[in-house]
Amino acid sequence: MVLNPPPRRDVSWTPEPWNSCMPGRVIWYHPELRFGFIECANGLTLGTVERGCLDLFHEVKGPLATTGPATLANVSTGREVLFDVEANALSEDQVNELLGLVQG
Protein backbone atom coordinates (compact mmCIF):
# COMPACT_ATOMS: atom_id res chain seq x y z
CA MET A 1 0.00 0.00 0.00
CA VAL A 2 1.38 3.39 -1.00
CA LEU A 3 0.47 6.43 1.06
CA ASN A 4 0.12 9.50 -1.13
CA PRO A 5 0.74 12.90 0.45
CA PRO A 6 -1.97 15.54 0.19
CA PRO A 7 -1.93 17.70 -2.93
CA ARG A 8 -1.27 20.98 -1.02
CA ARG A 9 1.95 21.60 0.88
CA ASP A 10 0.35 23.82 3.54
CA VAL A 11 -1.83 21.00 4.89
CA SER A 12 -0.23 18.93 7.64
CA TRP A 13 -0.60 15.22 7.04
CA THR A 14 0.51 12.27 9.10
CA PRO A 15 -0.38 8.71 8.08
CA GLU A 16 -2.18 6.63 10.70
CA PRO A 17 -0.22 3.75 12.21
CA TRP A 18 -0.84 0.54 10.28
CA ASN A 19 -2.79 -1.04 13.15
CA SER A 20 -4.81 1.96 14.35
CA CYS A 21 -8.06 0.76 12.80
CA MET A 22 -7.57 -2.99 12.59
CA PRO A 23 -10.96 -4.73 12.37
CA GLY A 24 -11.68 -7.75 14.53
CA ARG A 25 -14.44 -10.01 15.79
CA VAL A 26 -14.99 -11.28 19.34
CA ILE A 27 -14.80 -15.08 19.15
CA TRP A 28 -14.85 -15.85 22.88
CA TYR A 29 -15.84 -13.71 25.86
CA HIS A 30 -16.24 -14.42 29.58
CA PRO A 31 -18.60 -11.77 31.05
CA GLU A 32 -17.74 -12.43 34.70
CA LEU A 33 -13.97 -12.28 34.20
CA ARG A 34 -14.39 -9.58 31.51
CA PHE A 35 -11.78 -11.01 29.18
CA GLY A 36 -11.98 -12.36 25.71
CA PHE A 37 -10.33 -13.22 22.44
CA ILE A 38 -10.64 -11.11 19.31
CA GLU A 39 -9.80 -12.55 15.90
CA CYS A 40 -8.04 -10.06 13.62
CA ALA A 41 -5.58 -9.92 10.74
CA ASN A 42 -2.50 -10.65 12.87
CA GLY A 43 -4.03 -13.65 14.68
CA LEU A 44 -5.91 -13.83 17.96
CA THR A 45 -5.74 -11.09 20.58
CA LEU A 46 -6.32 -11.63 24.32
CA GLY A 47 -7.43 -8.79 26.53
CA THR A 48 -9.67 -7.56 29.31
CA VAL A 49 -12.49 -5.05 29.13
CA GLU A 50 -11.72 -2.15 31.46
CA ARG A 51 -14.71 -0.04 30.46
CA GLY A 52 -17.60 -0.66 28.08
CA CYS A 53 -19.17 -3.82 26.77
CA LEU A 54 -18.22 -6.67 24.46
CA ASP A 55 -20.11 -9.80 23.58
CA LEU A 56 -19.67 -12.81 21.36
CA PHE A 57 -19.46 -11.98 17.64
CA HIS A 58 -19.26 -8.20 18.19
CA GLU A 59 -17.31 -6.44 15.48
CA VAL A 60 -14.61 -4.03 16.72
CA LYS A 61 -11.98 -1.70 15.24
CA GLY A 62 -8.87 -0.39 16.91
CA PRO A 63 -5.18 -0.91 17.70
CA LEU A 64 -5.21 -4.67 18.28
CA ALA A 65 -1.63 -5.35 17.20
CA THR A 66 0.07 -3.71 20.18
CA THR A 67 -0.15 -4.58 23.87
CA GLY A 68 -1.50 -2.19 26.47
CA PRO A 69 -4.69 -0.15 26.85
CA ALA A 70 -6.58 0.43 23.61
CA THR A 71 -9.77 2.25 22.80
CA LEU A 72 -11.81 0.10 20.44
CA ALA A 73 -14.84 1.12 18.46
CA ASN A 74 -17.51 -1.52 18.99
CA VAL A 75 -19.09 -1.42 15.54
CA SER A 76 -21.91 -3.71 16.69
CA THR A 77 -23.10 -1.33 19.43
CA GLY A 78 -21.75 2.00 18.21
CA ARG A 79 -19.93 2.54 21.53
CA GLU A 80 -16.33 2.69 22.66
CA VAL A 81 -14.64 -0.03 24.69
CA LEU A 82 -11.47 0.36 26.73
CA PHE A 83 -9.70 -2.94 26.10
CA ASP A 84 -6.37 -3.83 27.71
CA VAL A 85 -4.53 -5.95 25.11
CA GLU A 86 -2.51 -8.49 27.08
CA ALA A 87 -1.26 -10.68 24.20
CA ASN A 88 -1.59 -10.58 20.44
CA ALA A 89 -0.74 -12.65 17.39
CA LEU A 90 -1.71 -15.80 19.30
CA SER A 91 -2.22 -19.05 17.41
CA GLU A 92 -5.34 -21.16 17.72
CA ASP A 93 -3.34 -23.76 19.69
CA GLN A 94 -2.20 -21.13 22.19
CA VAL A 95 -5.77 -19.91 22.65
CA ASN A 96 -7.05 -23.45 23.17
CA GLU A 97 -4.38 -24.02 25.82
CA LEU A 98 -5.37 -20.81 27.64
CA LEU A 99 -9.06 -21.70 27.48
CA GLY A 100 -8.27 -25.12 28.93
CA LEU A 101 -6.70 -23.39 31.94
CA VAL A 102 -9.74 -21.16 32.43
CA GLN A 103 -12.25 -23.98 32.08
CA GLY A 104 -10.02 -26.53 33.83
Calculate ∠ Cα 83-40-94, nearest 5°. 85
The pTM (predicted TM-score) of the whole model is 0.77
**5 in any annotated domain:** no
6 falls within a domain: no
What's 31's domain CATH number?
2.40.50
CA 87 to CA 78: how far, in whole Å? 25
**Per-residue pLDDT averaged across 47-51, rounded?**
96
pLDDT at 8 over 80: no
Query: What range does the domain containing 63 cover?
Result: 22-103
Per-residue pLDDT, 104: 65
Work out the percent of the chain whose per-residue pLDDT is above 70. 80
Question: Tell me: the pLDDT tens digits for 52-96?
Answer: 999 999 999 999 988 999 999 999 999 999 999 999 999 889 988
Q: 26 forms bridges with which residues in the sheet?
A: 38
Query: How far, in Å, CA of 70 to CA of 49, rounded?
Result: 10
Domain count, the chain: 1
In contact, 46 and 86? CB cutoff 8 Å: yes
Q: Please report whether residue 2 resides in a domain.
A: no
- DSSP β-bridge partners for residue 82: 51, 71
